[in-house]
A = this chain, B = another copy of it.
């Protein structure tokens, strides 16, 4: 069966470890490419422009919106986040599975434009564990942590819109499960439209031969 690259959306509450998961997949398997988002938020210690994000000003971001250079964008905790179009389309054309690590609003917008996109939500084992991880990160103020937890509560209402949900408890296991899911996602009818069409056309000949007989 001919396989084309698929568009993969990974979402998850802040602090759930989705960034680590995605980084691992991209490092381990050649089939994956990672989309780099554009944001107006400030870099965290250790983050690099063009690696974690393209860090831009609000003015620059709004310029990109106006030029339709983003396939989706949203505002989250007072900052813009968006997905530059060019790189995503380039990777898909090359047959790579391109991963977008974006939040739920953006995911829904991408799903509208790319109905074949596969949406995976990464969950914590429990709400208490999520809170612990957010506090453990120590890069956020108490107010930010509370905001992120409230946000998680709100986001959890949209989980049924995702194709898959996985729990990040054991990182190795979760990585393995995620890779398994993304492999399986290649086997849906909508990812194999041309193979199905071809097979159907071949099979029709049997019906026709029989009519003649």
Contacts and interface: CB of A to CB of B under 8 A. Distances in A.
A202 B196 CA distance: 44
A5 B109 CA distance: 33
Secondary structure dominating the interface of A = helix
Nearest to A164: B187
Given A181-B187, A196-B156, A206 B127 contact: yes
Interface residues of A, number: 46
Contact of A152 (B153, B157, B185, B203): B203
A183 to B, nearest CB: 6
A189 B210 contact: no
A119 to B, nearest CB: 10
Nearest to A189: B160
A1 interface: yes
Nearest to A120: B187
A77 interface: no
A145 to B, nearest CB: 10
Contacts of A166: 1, 187
A165 interface: yes
A150 B207 contact: yes
Interface in A1-35: 1
A159 interface: yes
A163 interface: yes
Given A1-B167, A146-B210, A210-B146, A156 B187 contact: no
A176 to B, nearest CB: 10
A126 interface: yes
B165 A187 contact: yes
A149 interface: yes
Contacts of A203: 127, 130, 149, 152-153, 156
A166 B189 CA distance: 9
A199 interface: yes
